[in-house]
Amino acid sequence: MSLVVIGTVAFDALETPFGKTDKIIGGAATYATLSASYSVKPVKMVAVVGDDFPQSDILLLEEHGVDTQGLQIKQGEKSFFWSGKYSNDLNLRETLQTELNVLADFDPVLPDSYQDCKYLMLGNLTPQIQRLVIQRLVNRPKLIVMDTMNFWMDVAMEELLTTIEMVDVLSINDEEARQLSGEYSLVKAAKKIMALGPKYLIIKKGEHGALLFCKNKIFFAPALPLEEVFDPTGAGDTFAGGFIGYLAASDDISFDNMKRAVIHASAMASFCVEKFGTERLLNLTKEEIEAREAMFSELVKVVPATTAATV
């Protein structure tokens, strides 16, 4: 089923306790499309880069089944650049540098071949641009998933709320859910956020797993306890891409299938953090992914008792 993903394609320079990188390929749309490509091909990308972006990286995306017709290359301009440094426990991230460059006046162009979009992933970007993409599709997609972050809550709350109202699934982390709702309890936060429009809410809790809400139903997917987390960059985008990829491939948006999509998404994110940048996402096998998904099931599996142990 036709999947369109919009977001940033960027250069990242990362510093973690385990090492640092020069400029490597990054951005929400890069992680999300690569992740989704393991479920469905092609993944139609909408993004913008400058003429400094290597043709080899674009080819790499295409080799993974990413349709780059919607990737604009701006001559004479530079690609979006972000550099960041992680704390020793990887739980805190400091932005060292942000250069918007081509992103400053990004006007998303949707090729005609993208108009069959049934599944739309709005990766992290200004809420105005996310909304533009919805408006430029002639038919509303069957499912719109939106990822965003605290930055937009700080600088563009009104715009953000307008876009949130138009989507089916919102995907944010726990701190963002608390900021958006003003509620500390995630159950209360979820109720308030779903009242803003989205029928479904995913709250990502990083090393503590993810929650999926729909009306009064709650599903919890654990995170795999990992021996080493190497680089958390892109984990949230990989999760989102894995989630919508799974739904698009199965073309089933029931709550039961969304649960499976969350497990698949968690598995994809658990691979992402094992190496720097997109490296681990470039050559996964179907067998590796299925084995990882099985680990998630195993982690919470309980065989019911044959006798009651309550007196």
**Angle 21-25-26 from CA coordinates, rounded to 5°:** 100
Please state the separation of Cα 147 from the chain's center in Å: 6
Is residue 130 within 8 A of residue 93, CB to CB? The reply is no
CA distances from 224 to 26, 213, 301 (A): 24, 20, 13
Interface residues toward a copy of itself, by CB under 8 A: 38-41, 88-89, 184-188, 205, 208-209, 211, 218-222, 225-229, 246, 249-250, 256-257, 259-260, 263-264, 286, 289-290, 297, 299-305, 307-311
Q: Closest distance between a copy of itself and the C-beta of residue 4, in Å?
A: 17
Q: Toward a copy of itself, which CB reaches closer, 99 or 274?
A: 274
In terms of CB distance, is 132 or 229 closer to a copy of itself? 229
Shortest distance, position 222 Cβ to a copy of itself, whole Å: 5
In the complex, least distance from residue 266 CB atom to a copy of itself, rounded to whole angstroms = 11
Nearest residue (CB) to a copy of itself, 26 versus 241:
241
User: Which is nearer to a copy of itself, 23 or 205 (by Cβ)?
Assistant: 205
Nearest distance, CB of residue 270 and a copy of itself, angstroms: 12
Instruction: Give the shortest CB-83-to-a copy of itself separation in angstroms.
Output: 23
| 3-class SS letters over 233-257 | CCHHHHHHHHHHHHHHHHCCCCHHH
Residue with Cβ nearer a copy of itself (151 or 220): 220
Is 79 in contact with 53 (CB distance < 8 Å)?
A: yes
